[in-house]
A = this chain, B = another copy of it.
């Protein structure tokens, strides 16, 4: 399921945001899948290209857990798009180095991402485009800046 449907609600902002983000996400996933990437792989590639970054740094940027990062980097390595290299300053850390093939793919994926976003924005009348982006930016920085964290799940120890 995706979202809560509207009720007597003044404006069902929950529905609007859930629905639009879900559909956009599905479009993005489908578009990136055509060149064999997930949104996360794209995200890591792009930020790893900008400068030398470790897995932890890339995980923070993409708001992923470090264990999710491991899986994402595994996928990138398997496709020959990136490599783990030892950091010259910290022998615990791995720099994610984008390969030549990875750089090419990243360029293509950025075009795809931009197109999917532009198609959505351009579907709106002129006078709504700029304001939509401005309002969402403001919300995401201010009132809807940080999630209320859900109560921690206490988990029992691993077997063996």
Contact B138 A4 (CB under 8 A): no
Would you give the 0/1 interface string for A113-153, flagging 1 where the beta carbon is closer than 8 Å to chain B?
A: 11011111101100111011111111110111111111000
| Residues of chain A in range 17-31 having any CB-CB distance to chain B below 8 Å | 17-30
Contact A147 B26 (CB under 8 A): yes
Q: Would you call A9 an interface residue if the criterion is a C-beta within 8 Å of the partner chain's C-beta atoms?
A: yes
| Alpha-carbon distance between A27 and B25 when the two chains are bound, in angstroms | 21
Residues in chain A within 8 A of chain B (CB atoms): 1-5, 7-30, 39-40, 42-43, 46-47, 61-65, 68, 110, 113-114, 116-121, 123-124, 127-129, 131-140, 142-150
* 22 contacting pairs across A/B (C-beta < 8 A): A1-B65, A3-B63, A4-B43, A7-B47, A7-B110, A14-B116, A15-B140, A16-B136, A17-B20, A17-B24, A20-B139, A21-B21, A24-B144, A26-B148, A26-B149, A119-B143, A120-B144, A124-B135, A124-B143, A128-B131, A131-B132, A131-B135
